[in-house]
Structure 1
Amino acid sequence: MSTGLSLADHITLEMRTDIIGGRLLPGMALIESDLVTAYNASRNTIREALHRLGQEGLTRYVRNKGVVVRRLGVDEVRDLFQVRRTLELQAIATSKPLREYQSDRMLEAIEATELAREREDWRAVGTHSLCFHQHIVGLMRSPLFDEFFTNIVAQMRLVFSAAPDEEHFQAPWLERDRQIHDLLAEGEKVAAQEAMSLYLDDSEQLLLDMLSHPSRH
Structure 2
Amino acid sequence: MNKTLPTVQVLSLADQVACELREDIIGGRLLPGMALIEAELTSRYNASRNTVREALHQLGREGLTSYVRNKGVMVRRIGLAEVRDLFLVRRTLEIQAILGSKPLREYQSDSMLGAIEAAELARDREDWQAFGTHSLRFHQHIVGLLRSPLLDAFFTNIAAQMRLVFAVAPDEENFQRPWLERDCEIHDLLAAGRRHEAAEAMTRYLDDSEHALLDLLSHPARG
Counterpart of 1:146 in structure 2 is 152
Q: 206, 209, 216: which is aligned to 1:210?
A: 216
Report what 1:97 is aligned to. Answer: 103
Q: Which of 59, 69, 79 is 1:73 aligned to?
A: 79
Higher alpha-carbon Rg: 2
- Which residue pairs with 1:34 in the alignment? 40
**Residue matched to 2:122:** 116
1:185 aligns with 2:191: yes
Give the paired residue count. 216
Any stretches of 5+ residues in structure 1 without a counterpart?
none
The aligned counterpart of 2:142 is 136
Mapped to 2, the partners of 1:92 and 1:125 lie a distance apart of 23
Any unmatched runs of 5+ in structure 2? 1-7
Q: TM-score, normalised by structure 1?
A: 0.98
Distance, in Å, in 1 between the alignment partners of 2:51 and 2:168 is 29
Aligned-partner Cα distance in 2 for 1:162–1:46: 27
- Following TM superposition, the consecutive aligned residue runs of length 4 or more in structure 1 with deviations greater than 4 angstroms are none
Separation in 1 of the partners of 2:174 and 2:47? 38
| Equivalent position SS for 2:66 | strand
Q: Among all aligned residue pairs of Structure 1 and Structure 2, give the percentage whose two residues are the same amino acid.
A: 74
1:196 is matched with which residue: 195, 198, 202?
202
Counterpart among 150, 160, 163 of residue 166 in structure 2: 160
Question: Deviation per CA, 1:94-133, whole angstroms, max 9, x where unpaired?
Answer: 0000111100000000000000010011000000000000
Tell me which residue corresponds to 2:4.
none
CA RMSD of superposed structures (Å): 0.9
* Counterpart Cα distance in 1 of 2:38 and 2:215: 35
What is the TM-score with the length of structure 2 in the denominator? Answer: 0.95
State the distance in 2 between where 1:54 and 1:215 align: 29
2:58 corresponds to: 52
Q: What amino acid is the match of 1:83?
A: V
Distance 1:6 1:166 in 2: 36
Q: 2: distance between equivalents of 1:162 and 1:64?
A: 24
What's the CA shift for 1:77? 0.3
Secondary structure of 2:63's counterpart equals coil
Determine the C-alpha separation between the residues in 2 that align with 1:177 and 1:40: 39
